[in-house]
Amino acid sequence: MATVSIRDEATELLQELLRADTVNPPGNETIAAELLRAYLEGAGVEYELFARVPERANIVARLPGRGGPTLALISHTDTVRADPEEWTVDPWSGELRDGQIWGRGALDMKSQVAASAVAIAALARDGFVPAGDVIFVASADEEVGEDFGLSWLCEKHPDAIRADYCVNEGGGDRLLIGGRTAYLCGTAEKMSSPFLLRVHGRSGHASMPGIADNALVRAARLIERLAEYRPKTRVRPEAEAFLDLVGTSEPAELEPALRAIVEPMLSHSISPTMIEASKQRNVIPALCDVVCDCRLLPGETQEEAEAEIRAALGEDSYELIWLEGVGGTASPLGTPLWSAIESFVKAEEPEAVLAPFVLAGFTDSHFMREAFGTVCYGFFPMRAMDCEVAAALIHSADERIPVDDLELGTRFLMHVARTLGE
Ligand SMILES: [Zn+2]
């Protein structure tokens, strides 16, 4: 093993993981957990498998520390589906071509699974004893979220995964902000908070529109108001730090790529996406249901948002029914984990800075924050691949990662494990 480099080791492990089809549904993450088990066993790392059902195992490994702050390196082993017709290579080939490793999950997120496993294995082989325990968690079921993965571990096996600090997916993009190179660090996530707009009218025969009150037509007016609606801006600490780097507090002045990062940080968002009214062509509907995707800022409540939305919609015959509220958690900035990540960035690129941002979507980080108050950041640095190229490949065809970035990510995780708590 001593002659194999971190780079080769991570490449080989990622290729093996990509060849294991863990498309969720159905998941079958146990095949990935078994690969990781064999790999960690070879490096002498202690591990345990936890599974709610046999075919959907999670694997947790631990490198014991000296009683200092614990660090979890978390990742998920499932992927979204892939249509081979759209791909240049077989999505489950793990092919190495032009210095890149190809396959479904190469970016989201078997690369970070492999990098985390190689990081903990390499540290173990070196005989390194970290300040606090370093915990490796490769969990199932992130993409669908039916409680086989991290949520289930938090509830049923909290002692196996509890940690003070955590590195997850959701950051590491490298871009230019106000003329400076910056790496994004995901420190907070919006809350997925869809609602139903149930619009009421009065039914009638469609041949006589005048005698009825068409709920679909009423809904159209309300949808129009939602489209024009500009939610109130709230400047959270992440946005403040980010806008400081940008040098303007006016998102409209930003170029599109930066605007796409800043806008979700400043307010909640609403997108009407589904509509249902009459079941019959000749019946004017008394009811029209409009489903709206809605993302709230961390810390913002549904009651606060509802008051604002109702004010924008005005008086009308509708109910606003919240369908769920998931995520919406934040970790503070300027923690020891922040410093550890920042010191890696500085060592790689002395001119570069670390910039916090709020993820518009959500990851498994909210489970760790909610269960244990863990300081969770999303960070996996990408330097060789342009972040806009990477963003377009995630959940899409020809997903791939440069070997250079896989190695960079592995070195990053080793750096954090060595630095935190020292
Ligand atoms: Zn992911």
What is the residue whose two structure tokens read 């949808």?
223
**Closest to 157 (Cα-Cα) out of 369, 371, 370:** 371
pLDDT computed for residue 263 by the predictor:
92
250 falls in which pLDDT band (50, 70, 90)? confident
pLDDT digits (tens, 9 = 90+) for 198-208: 999 999 999 99
CB atoms within 10 A of CB 40: 20
In the reported structure, the alpha carbon of residue 394 is separated from the centroid of ligand 1 by a whole-number distance in angstroms of: 9
pLDDT computed for residue 1 by the predictor:
44
Computed over every residue of the chain, the mean pLDDT equals 96
Give pTM, 2 decimals: 0.93
DSSP, residue by residue, 239-289: HHHHHHHHT-S-GGGS-HHHHHHHHHHHS-EEEEEEEE--SSTTEE-SEEE
What is the residue whose two structure tokens read 């194999």?
4
In the reported structure, the alpha carbon of residue 76 is separated from the centroid of ligand 1 by a whole-number distance in angstroms of: 7
pLDDT digits (tens, 9 = 90+) for 281-340: 999 999 999 999 999 999 999 999 999 999 999 999 999 999 999 999 999 999 999 999
**H or E segment and range at residue 154:** helix 150-156
Predicted confidence (pLDDT) at residue 348 exceeds the cutoff of 70: yes
In the reported structure, the alpha carbon of residue 327 is separated from the centroid of ligand 1 by a whole-number distance in angstroms of: 15
Dihedral angle, C-alpha 388, 394, 397, 398, nearest 10 °:
70
In the reported structure, the alpha carbon of residue 362 is separated from the centroid of ligand 1 by a whole-number distance in angstroms of: 9
pLDDT computed for residue 96 by the predictor:
98
Domains of the chain: 6-177+329-419 (3.40.630.10), 191-232+267-327 (3.30.70.360)
In the reported structure, the alpha carbon of residue 205 is separated from the centroid of ligand 1 by a whole-number distance in angstroms of: 50
In the reported structure, the alpha carbon of residue 95 is separated from the centroid of ligand 1 by a whole-number distance in angstroms of: 21
The answer to whether the beta carbons of residues 401 and 136 sit under 8 Å apart is no
pLDDT computed for residue 246 by the predictor:
87
In the reported structure, the alpha carbon of residue 169 is separated from the centroid of ligand 1 by a whole-number distance in angstroms of: 6
pLDDT computed for residue 55 by the predictor:
98
State what percent of residues in the chain have pLDDT above 70: 99
3 falls in which pLDDT band (50, 70, 90)? low
In the reported structure, the alpha carbon of residue 343 is separated from the centroid of ligand 1 by a whole-number distance in angstroms of: 25
Segment 99-111 shows an average pLDDT of 98
Segment 410-416 shows an average pLDDT of 98
Segment 3-27 shows an average pLDDT of 95
In the reported structure, the alpha carbon of residue 176 is separated from the centroid of ligand 1 by a whole-number distance in angstroms of: 24
Start-end of H helices in 163-236 = 215-228
Higher pLDDT, 117 or 249: 117
pLDDT computed for residue 2 by the predictor:
46
Give the tokens for residue 364: 């498994």
pLDDT digits (tens, 9 = 90+) for 161-196: 999 999 999 999 999 998 899 999 999 999 999 999
**3-class secondary structure, 27:** coil
87, 103, 112 from 397: Cα distances, Å: 5, 9, 19
pLDDT digits (tens, 9 = 90+) for 218-247: 999 999 999 999 999 999 999 999 998 888
In the reported structure, the alpha carbon of residue 16 is separated from the centroid of ligand 1 by a whole-number distance in angstroms of: 18
pLDDT computed for residue 253 by the predictor:
83
The angle formed by the CA atoms of residues 98, 104 and 107, to the nearest 5 degrees, is 70
In the reported structure, the alpha carbon of residue 367 is separated from the centroid of ligand 1 by a whole-number distance in angstroms of: 14
Query: Phi then psi for 226, rounded to 5 degrees?
Result: -65, -35
What is the C-alpha separation between 283 and 166, in angstroms, rounded? 56
**3-class secondary structure, 376:** strand
Give the tokens for residue 4: 């194999």
408 falls in which pLDDT band (50, 70, 90)? very high
